[in-house]
Each structure stands twice: as structure tokens, then as C-alpha cells.
């Protein structure tokens, strides 16, 4: 499968997932009180926003792939070493499992920082400084917004509590 075909399949999958979430999963499984004054604080807003942007991203992937020329020759795999790719897949699974188990002890903010930094190290980004700074600042800024502006309780850990 060529990169173009893979991008079309991923984009189509994102569109289908987006439509399933918007029309089936969110209306049937996300409940919301009728008296929510601010739409941003509604439990329906963020799932719908994420589903919408997932569909928009999928559409962009499909359109971009359709604009690229078809490969002339039979292309091989994009992965040079399948063993290393499988090991990276196992590592990301371990990061996800560790995130789930660390959340009650460290809290949402600290766990998100560590998970973001570990993922950046795993994928060996070219912009490591930006990734590490983002791993610290994005969860802190989200905490400040939700805890202090929106008044939503953010799960805190047993070791360090944020103000």
C-alpha cells in the first residue's frame, strides 16, 4: 500500500468515525442538563467539537491525497524496519497504560505532562525543546482555565496539589 492510499484510508476512517460520533455516540451516550447557560461548559460541546475537527482533518487528508500523483511503480512499505515499528507501538501502549495507572496518584495535570513528554521522546521529534515546553505549559494552562475560569474540578493527585 502506498502512502497515498494509506492517507486516503486514514482520512476516510476519520470521516466515518466523526460521523458516527456526531450522529450516534454523542447524542445517545452523552447526557447534559437543560439549564447550562454557557455552551462551552456544556458536556456536549467538546465531544462535538472534537468529532467535527476529526472529520475536517479526515476530509483534508483525503483531499490532499487525491491531489498527489499516483505512484508509477509498485511501492513497498513506508516502514524501513518493521521490528522497530512494532517496538515503538508497544512503547506507546505502555505509555498509555502507565498514564491510566498514574492518574490517581499524580493527578491529571502531572500525568498529562509526563505522558506528553514521554510520547515526544518516543517519536524523536526534531523540535524537542518546543515539545518539552509544551508538555509543561499546555496542561498547566488548561488546568488554570478549567479550574479557575470555568470552575470545573480537575482531578488532583496524592503527592502534589495545584492551587
Same domain (yes/no): 41, 95: no
Q: What is the pLDDT of residues 63-99, one digit of tens each?
A: 999 998 887 655 555 556 778 889 999 999 999 999 9
The answer to whether residue 155 sits within a structural domain is no
Residue 21 counted as domain residue:
yes
Same domain, 59 and 16: yes
Q: Grid coordinates in use for 94?
A: 505502555
Q: Which residue has the higher pLDDT, 75 or 145?
A: 145
Question: For the chain, what is the domain count?
Answer: 2
**How far, in Å, are 47, 48, 112, 145 from residue 100 at the CA level?**
20, 24, 10, 23
Task: Please report whether residue 162 resides in a domain.
Answer: no
109 found inside a domain: yes
Percent of the chain with pLDDT over 90: 62
End-to-end CA distance of the chain: 51
**Residues 8 and 41 placed together within one structural domain of the fold:** yes
Same domain (yes/no): 145, 89: yes
Domain presence at residue 61: yes
Shared domain check, 115 and 142: yes
Q: Considering the domain boundaries, does residue 88 fall inside one? A: yes
Per-residue pLDDT of 14-44, as tens digits, reads 999 999 999 999 999 988 888 878 777 788 8
Domain membership flag for residue 76: no
Q: Which domain holds residue 94?
A: 82-149
Please tell me the predicted confidence (pLDDT) of residue 71. Answer: 74
For cell 500523483, what's the residue?
69
pLDDT at site 77: 57
pLDDT at 72: 66
Q: Are residues 141 and 110 part of one domain?
A: yes
Amino acid at each position: 500500500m502506498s502512502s497515498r492510499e494509506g492517507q486516503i484510508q486514514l482520512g476516510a476512517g476519520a470521516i466515518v468515525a466523526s460521523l458516527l460520533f456526531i450522529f450516534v455516540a454523542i447524542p445517545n451516550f452523552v447526557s447534559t442538563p437543560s439549564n447550562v447557560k454557557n455552551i462551552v461548559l456544556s458536556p456536549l460541546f467538546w465531544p462535538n467539537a472534537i468529532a467535527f475537527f476529526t472529520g475536517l482533518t479526515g476530509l483534508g487528508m483525503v483531499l490532499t491525497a487525491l491531489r498527489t500523483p499516483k505512484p508509477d511503480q509498485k511501492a513497498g512499505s513506508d516502514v524501513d524496519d518493521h521490528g522497530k515499528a512494532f517496538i515503538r507501538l508497544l512503547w506507546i501502549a505502555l505509555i498509555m497504560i502507565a498514564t491510566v495507572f498514574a492518574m490517581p496518584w499524580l493527578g491529571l495535570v502531572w500525568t498529562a505532562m509526563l505522558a506528553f513528554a514521554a510520547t515526544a521522546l518516543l517519536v524523536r521529534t526534531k523540535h524537542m525543546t518546543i515539545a518539552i515546553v509544551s508538555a509543561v505549559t499546555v496542561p498547566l494552562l488548561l488546568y488554570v482555565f478549567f479550574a479557575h475560569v470555568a470552575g470545573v474540578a480537575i482531578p488532583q493527585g496524592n503527592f502534589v496539589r495545584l492551587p
